[in-house]
Amino acid sequence: MRMREIRELVRPRASGLGRTSVLDRCHDMDDLRTAARRRLPRAVFDYVDGGADEEITLAANRDAFRRVCFSPRVLRDVSAPDLSTRLFGADLRSPLGLAPTGYTRMIHPDAEPAVARAAAARGLPYTLSTVATTALEDVAETGHTNLWFQLYVLKDRALTYALVSRAEAAGFHVLEVALDTAVAGHRTRDARNGFTIPPRLALRTVLDIGTRPGYWTSVLRGAPLTLANLQASDSPGQRATVAALNDLFDPAVTWDDIAELRARWPGALILKGPLGPADVRRAIEAGADGVHLSNHGGRQLDRCVSPLDLLRPAREAAGDRLALVLDSGVRHGADIAAALALGADLCMIGRPYLYGAAVGGRAGVERAVDLLVAQLRRTVQLLGVTDLTELRKHGPELVALTPSPLPHRPAGGEDGHV
């Protein structure tokens, strides 16, 4: 081998000291997760990363996707796969959306507007949570034309209906009603960490400042951590906090409330929660346009069924009358391909884009999306299909679910490569 060729082999990669270089070294969700864990204080990272009680559902969501086994087709021209789709009258570049997450400003000071801009740049929908840290009108000002709003039905029905009216006035495209929050789930990691929102400067927090100065500087210089959409109706200017969130949820919500919301909302209506076939049929009767199969990422009821296991029976019950959205456990483009083949119209991610946001704000969110879309494109090509319609049509012969998860060990071990 010539000396010049050796120099080419050992030439160091271009690198910098900023967060952009960290994002460049993130090649999958494990890498992004590791980078986020290094960036965030432990209590904040555990708030994002953790689940309810024993976190059985949190692990089961991933295990469900590890049961997927592909049987690809060969000798197909897959040089230009088409990942675009259309949902609720909007064109999407790929079958991926950004799910609602609470307290995004705690992850990065640019908060929900940065996520909305990243979604718009990639041609994807973004769902704003009722418990967001940015007012829905301010998110609408980003110019994203395919915003969804996730609604928690609150004890204060006047406040609930006011949120619906505000979302319509701000131009939100879809209303998504969360059905799995009669009460807040118990998140053991948060309890062990003594975690509060907004974070308090307790002794443990003060010690954490010394190890994460960049994070705390950005938080303290940023806007206050409040639930920006939940202004108390009887106290103008006062904002609710997560500490009182459980008191806001209404455990008495019924199908009658869904009928009332259907009457008030003129656009597409989605019901979000771990809905089985019977509830899918009830959703059709209630006038819903879609069902979002989700167990809240394992953050509400532990030991809950995985949405992937609900997918086939839900599609059989829905037929072509409802769109099916799926989240909880999606960490790879192959997961998206499997879900689409089994009957989903769209997959959503929560934690993956929060990992990206923690590392690099909008650029980090875009990195998370780009990784998943690249993995999806490659998976579709290797499966031997050219578009999503073909993937759905041949799904039963392309995808099988094995009885137990396939063996898995992250390439970089627990800490990844970053």
Residues labelled as active-site residues: 296
202's tokens: 């307790």
Q: Is the peptide bond before 407 cis (omega within 30 degrees of 0)?
A: no
- Give CA–CA dist 16/22, Å, rounded: 9
Q: Write the CB contacts of 333 (distance below 8 Å, at least 6 apart in sequence).
A: 371, 372, 373, 374, 375, 376, 377, 378, 379
Return the amino acid letter for 300.
Answer: Q
230 three-state secondary structure: coil
Cα–Cα distances in Å, from 387 out to 83, 293, 390, 396?
6, 23, 5, 16
Residues 6 or more apart from 137 whose CB is under 8 A from it? 166, 170
Exposed, middle or buried: residue 401 (CB in 10 Å: 0-12, 13-18, 19+)? middle
Task: Find out whether 297 and 327 touch, Cβ atoms under 8 Å.
Answer: yes
